[in-house]
Amino acid sequence: VAVDISSELVDLHSDTNNNEHHTSEISVTELIVRRGQAFKLTLKLSQPFNLGFDQLIMTVVTGKDPSEDLGTKSRFGVPGRSLHSASAKAVWKAELQRGSSPETGVLVLIVSPPADAPIGEYTLSASFKDKEKVLANFSVLFNPWSSDDWVFLPKEEERREYVLNEQGIIYRGGGDYISPMFWDFGQFEQGMVKICLKMLDLNVKYWLNPADDVSARCSPIYVSRVVSAMINSSDEGGVVMGNWGNDYSGGFPPTYWSGSYAILKQWYNSYYRSVRYGQCWVFAGVMCSVMRLLGIPCRVVSNFQSAHDTNKNLTIDNYFDNNGAMERESKDSIWNFHVWVEGWMRRPDLAKDGKYDGWQVVDPTPQERSEGLFCCGPASVTAIRNGEVDLKYDVPFVFAEVNADSVYWLVSIDDGSRTKIFSDTETVGQNISTKAVGSYKRVDLTNTYKHREGGLTCMDSRGRSSYFFSGLRLFVMQVSGGSKVNQELTAEVVFTNPIDETLSDCSMSLSGSGLMIGQEITK
């Protein structure tokens, strides 16, 4: 005999669940939970439930073509019973809670989504004695409060700032004059869950393979990369159209905007027509809102004297002829400031020991293509600081933004050959700034992105570079005899090894007044 599950008595406890999951600012009527954390559910059956014989089978699904092997479907029993296949990913479970009254058909359940469940919209259904019923539609977000989640952030004051705070500051201006701009992130405004999850469904990879795309949403690395591409309009369906000119017809100048919600709501209500117009701080502000809503800790970062290296050689090249005129226009440039975001997450794809975990640069401003799309990151800030430019994603590009040398070349009028005139190692990457935790003060992040100028770069046995600063006096030079103009002189140079290791394959260069470039004098 089929037994009904009374829909009138399915209680999702949305108010208490959302409060415990730190989502009550989003809604108290729609169930919004965080993965890796249990939530409460009460069912009323139309007949008694016999714990010794009866079995309630529950199923959760998300996305198109849900599959246990992809982690987008999970079946679990009450009382606890394993129903999943051996190859299943993201296994859910449920337990009977105190307060249940099986003899009257009232079951109070504790449902636990795993910490690696894909984020998104879910449907929960229950099957009892051949009768199946959809119980609820609800949303699952990342969980910075769960130590099992890749976005776990240990300090509560930082979670309040980088996940829950709807107000912030974006720094603009120049290196000598840094101007704070207040920005309303508004990540918990009405409809933001639907807006942000719809954004994920409109990305190119979803259209190519929706099942795999939804499955990959278990990873904040993947999700942040998708969001980076979707914020700009350079690829189809993006939220904001960039404009660095003076004609803003058909929209508003980037300086018009002071918050993210108006932009995201306009995009959503217009059936995903890109909002006109934005520049780097607008792209970053909107992305920060989306990341915080999805549960990835995020902050906006401004880099002053920010390099744009177009040919991936880690330098900004300037070319001059013999008369001092610019020989040709370089595609490389240095912007007075540039703004991106950092997202907090683990990076087990780079190292199992957690070396590259923590803040990752993600840049939604369309500059260069990355794997075919206008997106950038996540790039480990640790990798950027250490100059480990062989690591994904887009570490070389961000390294150049904060640490490129500005190189000046003399181009021969006769044969077009180039001679290096000067290399400026200090201009790029100054006063890298973000808002402080719990206050409106500015925090300087420059030392987290780059070592002090005058450091040393070493290569290990596997060809990986590392960088450190030495305050030692490494060279002592003693000139023999007197010095005369246009006559050779002899000098003795004593070099002190700055590290407690044997150095090999070393070279020493000399540069100074009267020399066009540094010249190698010994090896």
Distance CA 374, CA 366 (A): 5
> Rounded to an integer, what is the distance from CA 137 to the centroid of its chain?
28
Nearest in space to 495 (alpha carbons), one of 510, 483, 515 = 510
Structure tokens at 356: 């590259």
| Greatest pairwise CA separation for the chain in angstroms | 111
Structure tokens at 212: 């795999």
- Three-class DSSP labels, 27-45: CCCCCEEECCCCEEEEEEE
Catalytic status, residue 13:
no
Nearest in space to 94 (alpha carbons), one of 79, 105, 84, 106 = 79
Listed in sequence order, the residues at least 6 apart from 416 whose beta carbon sits closer than 8 Å to its beta carbon are: none
Distance CA 179, CA 433 (A): 11
> How many CB atoms within 10 Å of residue 331?
10
Kindly name the residue from 363, 375, 376, 394 that is annotated as catalytic.
363
Spatial contact of 292 and 163, defined as CB atoms under 8 Å apart: yes
E-strand spans in 158-283?
A: 167-173, 178-184, 240-242, 275-278
Kindly name the residue from 213, 288, 338, 376 that is annotated as catalytic.
338
Distance CA 15, CA 511 (A): 70
Listed in sequence order, the residues at least 6 apart from 208 whose beta carbon sits closer than 8 Å to its beta carbon are: none
Spatial contact of 239 and 274, defined as CB atoms under 8 Å apart: yes
Structure tokens at 387: 């100059």
Listed in sequence order, the residues at least 6 apart from 51 whose beta carbon sits closer than 8 Å to its beta carbon are: 79, 96, 102
Catalytic status, residue 288:
no
Kindly name the residue from 196, 218, 280, 288 that is annotated as catalytic.
280
Catalytic status, residue 338:
yes
Which H or E run includes 446? helix 446-449
Distance CA 288, CA 364 (A): 10
Residue 274 is classified by DSSP as: P
Ramachandran assignment for 272, one of left (phi > 0), alpha (psi -120 to 50 degrees), beta (any other):
left
Active site (catalytic) residues: 280, 338, 363
